[in-house]
Structure 1
Amino acid sequence: MTSQARFSRRLVLQAGAATSVLGAPGLLFAQAKPIKIGLVHPVSGGLAYSGGQGRLGCQLAIDAINAAGGIKSMGGAKLEAALGDSQSRPEVGVSEVERLHQDGVSAYVGCFSSAIALPATQAAAKYNTPFLIDVGVSDNIVNRGLKNVFRLAPGFGKCVDDAIVALGQVNGAASNVAKTAVLIHEESEFGTGTARLLAGKLPSINIQPIETIKHANPTRDFSNVALRIRSLKPDVVIMSNYQNEYVLLARTLHQQRIDVAAMFSVLGGGFNYRLVKEQPQVAQHMMDFNHWFDPKNPKALEMKRKVEATGNLFTFEVYCGWNSVMLYADALERAGTADKEKAIAALESSTWSNHFMPYGATKFVNGQNTGGTGVLLQASTTDIETVWPNQFASAKAVFPRPKLS
């Protein structure tokens, strides 16, 4: 065959290949591979309500990102939720991390419970997979030197410090009527660690902790605890527990007419719109220092309307999940890849500020966003208001609370 013939044959083959591609445009413009995010939440067991709310927030964020065109720097790659259920048990959380790793996830978001987050993040560290903590307040989560772990919201160390300042200022404005406190906490890492920190800090604002009471998960009856509190006659009752026990304890103290200057909590798992909706008289005047949205941010109010329009409540688990996914998506956009090392580097250098929390721009130090802060909240029979700090306040604190009639 002559060189001219070989050249002509090559042109024919190239033309045929081009015609074949044009006849199947999907081959020319292949869709970007989806990016799997493992959602590890307790959607069954004792923490199911809070875990379900966290999953809801993550899924809403994934849907919003995909509807807006996906990760544009990766050719419009879509995010895909890979669902896990820790069943409210730490060992199951670990097995779900392992299962989702086999499923090819590029990152994890979870876990709601600190007791689940501690071993789950350790398991993910073996694979250098980014793990974004939506809710999980133990500072041990980010204090172990795990380079793959990132938490946007503050942990219980900062929350207790800020809550002490807030309570001190509110009490000071009321001529320091509160002088003693009883602390009640659940038995796991969250409640035990929070209560220990509070007991050490309360004397700095001239409130003396006179007793600390631990309870099991689950607890079905707080009658004896109520009797003990009545005998101690504290000015403040401070609670640190999850949804079910939080509500049951608050209801029991209300039914037993335990009259105190304040029912106060730090990171109270059951202080939310569900409490106000289902137990309005119990909720009235209760105070909690917790994760919360900026009530003056139009984006927060718009999202609250959208969530409520679906029949769900805008609890902190929802927007903590939402923001964690959005933070990861921002890192992917800047990295231009889901490669784990590059995504971790992008998270480490994050200055993300497109949130609606009372935070500034994100700045991670050892995996903890140093700009995150909680706020002091107070419930009425119809709503929850921010009462501290002043720049985010939507109402003035009622302290001490009125005597029970």
Structure 2
Amino acid sequence: MSRSRKVSVSRRSFIAGTAAALGLPAIAGAQPAAVKVGIIHPVTGFVAYNGQQGRLGATMAVEDVNKAGGIKAMGGARLEALLGDSQSKVEVGVSEVEKMNEAGVAAYIGCFQSPVGIAASQAAAKYNTPFLIDVGASDLLVTRGLKNVFRLKPGFGACVDQGIAALGALNEAAGKPARSAVIVHESGEFGTGTAKLLAGKLPSVGIEAKELIGHDNPTRNFDNVALRIRSMAPDLVIMSNYQNEYVLLARTLYQQKVNLAGLFSVLGGGFNYKFVKELPDVAQYMMDTNHWFNPKSDKAQALKKRVEAGGALFTFEVYLAYSTVMLLADALEHAGSADKAKLVAALDASTFKAELLPYGPTKFVNGQNQGGRAAVMQALKGDIEVIAPPEFASAKAVFPRPKFG
């Protein structure tokens, strides 16, 4: 004879059980909706390597946020990366913004190239969607009055100021071997804007800008530019261009044995471990003012090891994109929501600590972080050393560089 048993079933359990029986999603204890993040980089096109490096850093950060429990203020919501390829084209970058808006992104991160970032962030402004610039040097990105645009790193204005100050100090300490310079730059917004700023600032440290030489992207041959530089006999060549042209110009000047007191760059797109490891003789003694990680940061060194263990190089695109995703995650924690207005407000008030970078406290003014600053590096013996600012320096600068025999 069977004995009946009473089972107490709560309303919540009944609903959850019924939902499971009918194949419906359970309400109780459901995973919160993922926060969709649009990540746009040029992973094809003439700066594909840089874009791929940026995507690597961003996706590693998304993975780390999720592994650490997601956005805790939102019940552990995970970040979901929507990956876009701008193809190095402005119109494609805008198209990616529109496509991702339809998919319901809460924020965008990108775009490496300033012209693409300018247009893409303008498109995102129509929807009041936050757009975080990971790499993009033009100060037009943050001087248009758009409330949705935020940049953690310094732009070309701050980088030029810091680079010129460091160059002036080096030149003074060496007895002023450099009195003239030729500036070679890519002809887009990034290179042209940087070159104009450089030409205006150089006289303040006693150096004359003899000429500004622009070039197209891509450029396959710099022989004529090198001959032109040789005929002007400047003490310095200052470069501002993307990866391929940066490396090609440096290699051409080396092959033609153009003697200079220094080969210097501000935001030199090719000054990275890839260049220094593959062409150590060409890179030797070159200097660059650029975004760099804090060599004294344990977290930066740990991430560097992870990236290299995966067969990649720890270039600036990686740690800037990584840090920008972490900035967004921090803002989501403070906002407690993916609501766009709340997220913009949280970013605007952010005090995020950029632990991987040699920065001061984060403070956004009109979307630009006032705590961001560049470092000055020099290629020495197949490696890259920080030579300024002093508190982050790992080596003493060699200036002027030895002449060719």
Structure-2 change in CA distance of 1:16 and 1:97 (3 Å): closer
* 1:117-132 equivalent positions in 2, closer than 5 A: 117-132=117-132
The aligned counterpart of 2:356 is 356
The aligned counterpart of 1:201 is 201
- State how far apart, in whole Å, the 1-side matches of 2:340 and 2:16 are: 33
* 1:8-27 equivalent positions in 2, closer than 5 A: 15=10, 18-21=13-16, 24=20, 26-27=26-27
**Residue 381 of structure 1: how far off its partner (Å):** 3.3
The aligned counterpart of 2:180 is 180
**Residue 21 of structure 1: how far off its partner (Å):** 2.1
* 1:171-320 equivalent positions in 2, closer than 5 A: 171-320=171-320
Q: Is the 8 A contact 2:386 2:394 kept in 1?
A: yes
Q: Tell me the C-alpha RMSD between the 2 structures.
A: 1.6
- State how far apart, in whole Å, the 1-side matches of 2:286 and 2:228 are: 20
The aligned counterpart of 2:390 is 390
Please state whether the residue corresponding to 1:69 is helix, strand or coil.
coil
**Residue 14 of structure 1: how far off its partner (Å):** 7.0
Structure-2 change in CA distance of 1:196 and 1:27 (3 Å): same
**Residue 382 of structure 1: how far off its partner (Å):** 1.8
Give the counterpart letter for 2:399 in structure 1: F
The aligned counterpart of 1:9 is none
- State the identity %: 62
The aligned counterpart of 1:8 is none
Q: Is the 8 A contact 1:38 1:105 kept in 2?
A: yes
**Residue 27 of structure 1: how far off its partner (Å):** 3.2
Please state whether the residue corresponding to 1:28 is helix, strand or coil.
coil
TM-score (normalised: structure 2):
0.95
Please state whether the residue corresponding to 1:249 is helix, strand or coil.
helix
Residues 31-88 of structure 1 deviation map (CA, whole Å, 9 limit, x = unaligned): 0100110011100000100011011100000000000000001010000110111100
Pair 1:103-2:103 in alignment: yes
Structure-2 change in CA distance of 1:236 and 1:354 (3 Å): closer
Q: Is the 8 A contact 1:72 1:333 kept in 2?
A: yes
**Residue 354 of structure 1: how far off its partner (Å):** 4.4
Structure-2 change in CA distance of 1:26 and 1:254 (3 Å): same
Give the counterpart letter for 1:312 in structure 2: A
Pair 1:151-2:146 in alignment: no
Q: Is the 8 A contact 2:354 2:362 kept in 1?
A: no
**Residue 160 of structure 1: how far off its partner (Å):** 0.4
TM-score (normalised: structure 1):
0.95
Residues 213-256 of structure 1 deviation map (CA, whole Å, 9 limit, x = unaligned): 01011100000000001101110000000001001111111111
The aligned counterpart of 1:53 is 53
**Residue 404 of structure 1: how far off its partner (Å):** 1.9
The aligned counterpart of 1:372 is 372
**Residue 19 of structure 1: how far off its partner (Å):** 3.6
Q: Is the 8 A contact 2:40 2:109 kept in 1?
A: yes
Give structure 1 stretches of 5+ with no counterpart.
Answer: 1-11
**Residue 355 of structure 1: how far off its partner (Å):** 2.0
Q: Is the 8 A contact 1:57 1:320 kept in 2?
A: yes
Give structure 2 stretches of 5+ with no counterpart.
Answer: 1-6
Please state whether the residue corresponding to 2:147 is helix, strand or coil.
coil
- State how far apart, in whole Å, the 1-side matches of 2:133 and 2:401 are: 35
- State how far apart, in whole Å, the 1-side matches of 2:328 and 2:26 are: 29
Query: Aligned residue pairs: how many?
Result: 395
Q: Is the 8 A contact 1:294 1:356 kept in 2?
A: yes
Q: Is the 8 A contact 1:22 1:28 kept in 2?
A: no
The aligned counterpart of 2:3 is none
- State how far apart, in whole Å, the 2-side matches of 1:18 and 1:380 are: 67
